[in-house]
Amino acid sequence: MLPSFADSVLQLIIRTSTDLPPDVRAAMKTALGSEPTGTRSSQALTIIAQNIDLAVDTEGAICQDTGMPTFEIKVPVGANQIWMRQQIREAVAEATRRGKLRPNSVDSITGSNSGDNLGPGTPIIHFDQWDEDEIEIKLILKGGGCENTNAQYSVPVELPHLGRADRTLDGVRKCILHAVWQAQGKGCSPGAVGVSVGGDRTSGYLHAKEQLFRSLDDVNPDPRLAALEASIMASVNKLEIGAMGFGGKVTLIGCKIGALNRLPASFFVSVAYDCWAFRRLGVHLDSSSGAITKWLYRDPAHPIIPMLDQAGFTRTGREVTLKAPLTDGQVRSLKVGDVVLLSGPMFTGRDAVHSYLMTHESPVDLRGSVLYHCGPVVVKEEVVKAGTSGSGWRVTAAGPTTSIREEPYQGEIIKRYGVRAVIGKGGMGANTLAAMKEHGAVYLNAIGGAAQFYARAIKQVDGVSLLEFGTPEAMWHLTVEGFPAIVTMDAHGNSLHQDIERESGRHLEAIGV
Ligand code: SF4
């Protein structure tokens, strides 16, 4: 067998999770340079850039959501795919043990987390044969927040702000613009889209995801699709959705389009949205040893250029410093656009915790609390204190998750438990906004994907409840210090998300014609 195969796959996983490829870095650096200093988007991109640098320096996960590991593999004729599949599964489990991947494989019936990223359908491994002697493995880690913003259109279709999209390339253009507009900041913009024209519902989505393996700076070999990609990139940033949906000049960093034949009756446009944490890499392996002979997307001879040449997120002195638990007065004094620096206790809670709190008592007193929509990467380690030793928890990655999933629960939870601040990303809806106004609470938008940056604001793990839901879904009791976030929904009925959606809808109308 190939003695180095498993280790090569492990290296590929770790590098993919911790070190963004050069084409994505270059695009993000351009994005950062495009936003005027001091704007919300500029602040968000500065934190993202700092996070990218921190991740590679410490070999930590760029984002706590390490996504669905998806491997695309090409092997010489005669290669043993059964053995390779097993080796890849073991490498995935090992990367999870080392905290480079978050346990992300959840039983869809029971909700239990396998803990090692293995289970029916996870990881995704596709094999293909080719005429080369080497083995090629490409890997993409695409998280849930951006996966949830994927879209598929059955054309012709009537689209808000754009009118009818026909079975033409102009109709495809409208579908892509609509998908980007609809994503707003929920998929951690600025993002990139892979698009498939045609196929059927399943092959279309797969083909769209495959487009994300193209380099951001390549040119489509089909001149018609190259022209469409260029046209999208020339107009899409006029939507002014900006980083995290805060409003700004850069909304998309790439658009890659492919086409498949279709049935005469069907015309699907499938859009796979990937976030700024666009983690995909690849390797070539020697087919007799399994050792890495070449890295794809990166030249190892080139040093990694830091994203930032200055200090990163620096305080201006205008931030509002708050210490939890919070009072009604503190919360009502905040308004949309304020930057806050939070200290004190904070509790994590996402899908399972929200559902639980609707029918059970909270395991902790949540009055005046800060509830963080976050599924962190947490590792257990030995702690030596005052001559005694035991085990403790350490958070290694802890950015926000997409908040809108909790919309059916959030208003009731604010009312029932007296939560004063909810932190997440992408914003929430009308029910939550109304509950915040009535009961005195705010929504704070943290910077999606900035997992390393926020992990450093967590000073200790004080405890954990509901661990039976798995580490991402448990309720972690944290102490934070100087945790920065932006008020995007206040206790007076104002929502930056609603404003940006309305404004960008107007821009969509203008560029859609
Ligand atoms: S950057 Fe945002 S969308 Fe991307 S994986 Fe992380 S949390 Fe999800």
Tens digit of pLDDT for each residue in 260-294? 999 999 999 999 999 999 999 999 999 999 999 99
pLDDT digits (tens, 9 = 90+) for 446-457: 999 999 999 999
Q: Is the pLDDT of residue 315 over 90?
A: no
What does the pLDDT read at residue 440? Answer: 98
Question: Which residues fall within 8 angstroms of residue 481, CB to CB, at 6 or more apart?
Answer: 343, 457, 459
Average pLDDT of the segment spanning 311-326: 86
Pocket (CB within 6 angstroms of ligand 1): 63, 65, 67, 143-146, 187-188, 275, 277, 399, 401, 448-449
Helix (H, G, I), strand (E, B) or coil at 122: strand
**490, pLDDT greater than 80:** yes
Residue 342 tokens read as 């939070």
d(CA 24, CA 449): 14
Look at residue 385 in the predicted model and tell me its pLDDT. Answer: 64
Model pTM score: 0.94
Decide: 178 and 508 in contact? Cβ < 8 Å.
Answer: yes
All residues at 6 or more sequence positions from 483 whose CB lies less than 8 Å from its CB, including other chains: 341, 342, 343, 346, 423, 446, 454, 457, 458
Find the mean pLDDT for residues 20-28.
Answer: 95
Region 90-118 average pLDDT: 96
**Counts of helices then strands in the chain (DSSP H, E):** 14, 20
Once rounded to an integer, what is the mean pLDDT over residues 501-511?
Answer: 96
Per-residue pLDDT tens over the stretch 426-444: 999 999 999 999 999 999 9
Q: How far is the CA of 251 from the centre of ligand 1 (A)?
A: 15
- Tens digit of each residue's pLDDT (9 = 90 or more) over 364-419: 999 999 999 999 999 888 776 666 667 899 999 999 999 999 999 999 999 999 99
C-alpha 146 chain-centroid distance: 6
**Ligand 1 atom at minimum distance from 142 CA:** 5
pLDDT at site 384:
66
Rounded distance between C-alpha atoms, residue 478 and residue 437, angstroms? 27
Residues in the chain: 513
From 20, 45, 63, the mutation candidate for ligand 1 (largest count of ligand atoms within 8 A of CB) is 63
d(CA 403, CA 423): 8
With 70 as the cut, is the pLDDT of residue 192 above it? yes
* 8 Å CB contact between 334 and 442: yes
Mean pLDDT value across residues 319-328: 96
Interaxial angle between packed helices 169-183 and 496-512, expressed in degrees from 0 to 180 and rounded to the nearest 10: 170
Which pair of tokens denotes residue 254? Answer: 């790439």
Q: Is the pLDDT of residue 38 over 80?
A: yes
Q: What atom in ligand 1 is closest to the CA of residue 146? A: 3
Tell me what pLDDT residue 115 has. 95
CA 490 to ligand 1 center in whole angstroms: 24
H or E element that contains 229: helix 223-235
pLDDT at 480 over 90: yes
